[in-house]
Amino acid sequence: MKFPLLPKKKIDSRRYNRYVTPVKPILENCPELKSRGDRPLKLTFEDQLNALLYFHLYEHESGRELIQDLSENEFAKQCIAPEGGISRSSFSEAVNNRGLEQLQFVFKELTKRAGRILPKEFSKFGELIAIDGSLIDACLSMYWADYRKGSKKAKGHFGFSINQGIPTQIFLTDGKGAERPFVRTILSPGQTGVMDRGYQCHDDFDLLQEEGKRFVCRIKSLTTRTVLEKYQTAEDDFVFYDAKVLLGTAGINQTKKPVRVVGYNIDGKEYYVATDRFDLTAHQVAEVYKLRWTIESFFKWWKNHLKVYHLIARSEYGLMVQILAGLISYLLMAIYCHEEYGEKVSIKRIRELRTTIFNELCAIPDSKEYVRKKAKKNKKRRAKT
């Protein structure tokens, strides 16, 4: 990761350096990005990562705008762009064809680092992972992003740590890609997947229990339930149903292993949630499912304030590169906000960071003028001595 070269008296880059510092030790062990030919790379992986992080931090609307900023913005030229700058063609080639393995490594390692640093909320419930998919608008030339006639979309399948408020896994498919197959891949033994009713699958409920992976999943209210044991609920309580059951119809789609179903009413709407968490109370099961909405809040914040889906790539490879860079940016922001302010990620703090960097930019004199004055000052100093 490159850092500003100008003297501290001319530019105070401590805030920007602080933001990117968690990536530095990870890059030391990152797989090397090698040139495919005899000539050395014009754009190293560090250069590519720097540019992508800057793209997300400053919410650029396009790759063209980013490249222009890297050539005209003095801060970006000094702190972000490689020596000699970045051409639009080199940047486009890099995003669409290389760096994915390295970004996956950085994301995985940064997730581990954030996991050690960020406080764990809701620890009494164990490790909760919200699982959901998010559609990504694509242009019509992105033929791989199949969705429907006249509409192209890709779909990101995400795992999200509810306890620490950070993304932990990402997979990319076309817009029609099924979501259920990713549940077992995203979850690790001991973790509890928190899912909406689109993930209801009785075979998967059995498999997850066999693999030691837990789940709290909303189910359809008309799902057939064979009651094995019913637990007592209070008449005036919002929880009106709590039982150990077999889900589905015998001989067709019935679960082999029993699950617990909790039914509760919120604002006149009934919810039924299936889980293998018999260690929780019915109220806690309802509370855990409610926490699933943290991933929806993440999607909204991420899309609105990081401009993750202003496409700078058209290939499936390039879109994954862009999304991973966005997730890395979010992780850096989460660590930064926690260590600097003891807070969760907020647009308020990100705006403060941008303002600080902008003020750093205002402190930078024109490069040529700076060199001329520096040479003149040195000449006077030598004359005096």
Note the pLDDT of residue 372.
Answer: 52
Give the pLDDT of residue 367.
44
User: What pLDDT is stored for residue 301 in this prediction?
Assistant: 76
Strand-pair category, 166-174 with 151-161: antiparallel
* pLDDT at 25 exceeding the cut of 70: yes
- Say what the pLDDT of residue 5 is: 36
Q: 47-69: buried (b, 16+ CB within 10 Å) or exposed (e) per residue?
A: bbbbbbbbbbbbebeebeebbeb
Q: Which of 5-9, 223-227, 276-280, 303-307 has the lowest mean pLDDT?
A: 5-9
Higher pLDDT among residues 203 and 312, named by residue = 203
Given a cut of 90, whether residue 310 has pLDDT beyond it is no
Q: How far apart are CA 113 and CA 59, in angstroms?
A: 25
The per-residue pLDDT for range 192-206, each reduced to its tens digit, is: 999 999 999 999 999
- Residue 362 is predicted with a pLDDT of 59
Mean pLDDT of the chain: 86
Task: For residue 137, count other CB atoms closer than 10 A to its CB.
Answer: 14
Could you write out the three-class secondary structure of the chain?
CCCCCCCCCCCCCHHHHHHHHHHHHHHHCCCCCCCCCCCCCCCCHHHHHHHHHHHHHCCCCCHHHHHHHHHHCHHHHHHCCCCCCCCHHHHHHHHHHCCHHHHHHHHHHHHHHHHHHCCCCCHHHCCEEEEEEEEEEECCCCCCCEEECCEEEEEEEEEEECCCCEEEEEEEEECCCCCHHHHHHHCCCCCEEEECHHHCCHHHHHHHHHCCCEEEEEECCCCCEEEEEECCCCCCCCEEEEEEEEECCCCCCCCCCCEEEEEEEECCEEEEEEECCCCCCHHHHHHHHHCCHHHHHHHHHHHHHHCCCCCCCCCHHHHHHHHHHHHHHHHHHHHHHHHHHCCCCCHHHHHHHHHHHHHHHHCCCCHHHHHHHHHHHHHHHHHHC
Residues 168-200 pLDDT 10s = 999 999 999 999 999 999 999 999 999 999 999
* Average pLDDT value for residue range 101-116: 96
Q: What is the pLDDT of residue 8?
A: 33
In the chain, the percentage of residues whose pLDDT exceeds 70 is 87
pLDDT score of 7: 32
- pLDDT on residue 309: 62
pLDDT score, position 6: 33
Q: State mean pLDDT over 7-36.
A: 76
Q: Is the pLDDT of residue 2 over 50?
A: no
Query: Please, which residues have CB within 8 angstroms of residue 85's CB and are 6 or more apart in sequence?
Result: 70, 71, 77
pTM: 0.86
Does position 162 have pLDDT exceeding 60, yes or no? yes
How does residue 375 score in pLDDT terms, banded at 50, 70 and 90?
A: low
